[in-house]
A and B are shown apart, each in its own frame.
Chain A
C-alpha cells in the first residue's frame, strides 16, 4: 500500500528528527518535539486505519449485506496476500502493538468504526471516546492484553500480530523503536 509506505517513511523521518534534536545545541525544544509527536500520531492513526480497512474485507460480519458476498471471495484472496504482508515487515506489527485495543476479528465493523472515529479527529484532546490516548496511555507491550481473544477460525492475523508483538519487545530493530520508545516518553524527558 503506497499510503502505508509513505506513512512509514514519515514516521521514520520524524523519529530521526526527534532523536537528532536531542543532541542539538540548546537542548530539545519542547515545541518542536510536540509537533513531531503530533505528526507521528497522525501518521500512526492513518496507518492503522488503512491497515484495518484492508483487513476488514476478510472478516465478513454476520450482518453483512448480500451485496458484499460477491467481492468476498476476492477479498479473501486479497487477505491471504495481506496476511503475508503483515507478517513480513517488522514495522507493521509493532505499530499494532502500540494500540491498547486488540482488533476483534469477530466484529470488524466495530473495530473499523472505532478506528474511523479516532481517525476523524486524530488530535482532539478532550474526546472521551478515544481508547488510545495519544502519547499517554498506550499499554506497555509486556502486559497481557485485557481484551478476551476471540476463538473463531479466522483470527490468525490477530494471533500473528500478538505473537509478533510479544516477540518484538526485546528486539532492537529500528522499527521497534517506533513503539518500544513510545512517543509519550520523548515528551516526558522534560
Chain B
C-alpha cells in the first residue's frame, strides 16, 4: 500500500479526539504509552494512574459510510497499583511504562503491561452469553428460598447478553528488576519476551513467572564507575535470537542469544562518531537514546535521541544511513531546557506499516513525520482548536530566527509543557494515534488527550470501498 506519499502525501485529518476537556483532569490521566495490536483493530493506552484503556475499531458498515472505522472504548481496567518497597522505603509508581500486545492466537487478546518493577500478562476476553435458569440461584445470583422445595430440575440455558469485556491478570512477573523497567518486547517465537531496566535485561517465558534469565548485565562492580545505562531494548521482529539495546551514551548493541548465555559481549556495536565541533555542556544528555524500534522488515532500526531520529542499517555499524532533525532549533536552547527539565524528556518514535515513513513527537504538541523515500517532512499540531473532524491539518513551521513569516511560530513561543512523547502508527493503514501530554503546571487545558488521525476521506466513494481493509 502507499505509505505517506503517493498522491496525498502528508495529508492528515483528525479522526477522533479522546480525552477529558474539563479542568478536572488529574495527573493520573496522563497517557504514558500507546500501542496498536498486530492487526490494528485494538489500540491500548496506559496512563500514569496505572490504568489501561483499550479502544476497538468499529467495523465499517454500509449503513454508516462516513464512519471509517472509529475507535471506541472496548475495555478499561486497573493494571497496576502503587506499591511500597519496605526494604528501601521507596514508593513504586503505578505508571504504566510500556504495553506490548501478544499476537492473537484465539478469541481472547493478550497484552503485557509493565510499571517500574512488575510486568503483568492480561487476558482480555469477551463474554456475550450468560447462563440462565439456575436451579439454586435466581437471576441476581441469590440463593432461591428453600432448596428442599425444588421438585424438578432444569438445565441452565445460555442466553445472549450485552457484550462484556473482561480483563484478568493471567501472569505476574515480579521481583526481577532492581532498577526501573524501561522496556518490554515480545519475541518473534511468541513464547518469550524480554524486559530491560537501567542495568539489566531479563528473558522470560510467558508461562513461567517465578524465574527469568538474565541476558545482559552492565552493572559495574563499583557503582561509582558507572558511565552508561540501558535506555531501551527490543527483540528483532523475525529472528528470535537477536535483540538490540540502546544506551545513554548514544550507542546501540545488537546481541545474538546463540552466542552465549550472557550477552554482555555484543555482536554488533552501532555508534556514530561525535562531531567535535558540536560538543557542549549537554552533549551527553542529548545523545542519550530514548527509543529504539526495528523496522517491520527487520532490516533497519530507528533510534531517537533528543534532537534527531536516526535510521540504521543493521549491516552498517559505523554510522546511520539516515538522520532526521526533529527540532534542531532547540540546540541553542539546551541550557533553558536543562533548567526546566525538558532536556530529560524521552520521546518515542515509530515506523509506518511499510517502513516508508517515520514519526516522532516534539513540543507545543507538534509531531513530525518523515518520508524516507522523498526525504520530505512535515510538522503537524495535535490540538483541540484545530481538530475539526475531517478537516485537513495545516502544516506548522517553526521560525528559527530573523523575520517570522505569517503562520510561523517562533521558538520562544513554543509551549514546552505541551509535548508529544508517545505516538503509534497502525501496522497496516494510515491511521496514527498521538498522545498529547500537558503538564498541569500550565494553564488548564487538556491534560491527556489521545488524537487519532487518518487520511482525509477520498472524494470518490466507490474508490474508498476498494481501499477499505476489512
Contacts and interface: CB of A to CB of B under 8 A. Distances in A.
Interface of A: 10, 13, 17, 25-27, 29-32, 34-35, 38-39, 42-43, 46, 123, 125, 133-136, 184-185, 187-188, 190
Given A43-B281, A123-B227, 15 more contacts: A10-B335, A17-B341, A25-B91, A25-B93, A26-B92, A30-B180, A30-B198, A31-B231, A34-B226, A39-B285, A123-B284, A125-B227, A136-B224, A187-B223, A187-B224
A187 B281 CA distance: 20
Nearest to A136: B224
B88 interface: yes
A27 B90 contact: yes
B285 A26 contact: no
A159 B285 CA distance: 37
Contacts of A38: 284-285
B179 A30 contact: yes
A13 B224 CA distance: 21
Nearest to A120: B276
A134 B179 CA distance: 23
Given A30-B180, A35-B288, A188 B223 contact: yes
Contacts of A187: 223-224, 226
A36 to B, nearest CB: 9
A184 B91 contact: no
Nearest to A17: B341
The main secondary structure of chain B at its interface with chain A is loop
Contacts of A190: 179, 223
A34 B91 contact: no
Contacts of A35: 248, 284-285, 288, 344
A13 B341 CA distance: 11
Contact of B338 (A13, A46, A184): A13
B430 to A, nearest CB: 34
The 8 closest A-B pairs by CB, nearest first: A184-B224, A26-B93, A27-B90, A30-B198, A136-B224, A125-B227, A38-B284, A188-B223
Nearest to B198: A30
B285 A188 contact: no
Interface in B184-231: 198-199, 222-229, 231
A32 B344 contact: yes
B371 interface: no
B116 interface: yes
A46 B179 CA distance: 32
A39 B282 contact: yes
A39 B284 contact: yes
A179 to B, nearest CB: 15
Contacts of B285: 35, 38-39
B385 interface: no
Contacts of A27: 88, 90-92, 180
Contacts of A29: 180, 198
30 contacts: A10-B281, A10-B338, A25-B93, A26-B90, A26-B91, A26-B116, A26-B180, A27-B88, A27-B90, A27-B91, A29-B180, A30-B179, A30-B199, A31-B182, A31-B229, A35-B344, A38-B284, A39-B281, A39-B285, A42-B281, A42-B284, A43-B281, A46-B281, A123-B284, A125-B225, A135-B225, A135-B226, A136-B225, A184-B224, A187-B223
A155 B231 CA distance: 47
A34 B230 CA distance: 12
Contacts of B224: 135-136, 184-185, 187-188
Contacts of B182: 31
- Among A26, A39, A123, A188, residue most surrounded by chain B Cβ atoms (within 10 Å): A26
Contacts of A17: 341
Contacts of B91: 25-27
B339 interface: yes
Nearest to B230: A31
A125 B220 CA distance: 13
Interface in B303-348: 335, 338-339, 341, 344
Contacts of B199: 30
Nearest to B219: A190
Contacts of B222: 136
A190 B229 CA distance: 13
A35 B338 CA distance: 11
Nearest to A27: B90
Contacts of A32: 344
Nearest to B288: A35
- Among A25, A35, A125, residue most surrounded by chain B Cβ atoms (within 10 Å): A35
B97 to A, nearest CB: 11
B333 to A, nearest CB: 14
A99 to B, nearest CB: 16
A115 to B, nearest CB: 16
Nearest to A10: B281
Contacts of B179: 30, 190
Contacts of B344: 32, 35
A39 B286 CA distance: 11
Nearest to B199: A30
A41 to B, nearest CB: 9
A75 B66 CA distance: 80
B114 to A, nearest CB: 14
B198 A31 contact: yes
A86 B363 CA distance: 42
A131 B130 CA distance: 75
A142 B88 CA distance: 31
- Among B222, B224, B228, residue most surrounded by chain A Cβ atoms (within 10 Å): B224
A1 to B, nearest CB: 16
Contacts of B228: 34
B284 A31 contact: no
A29 B116 CA distance: 10
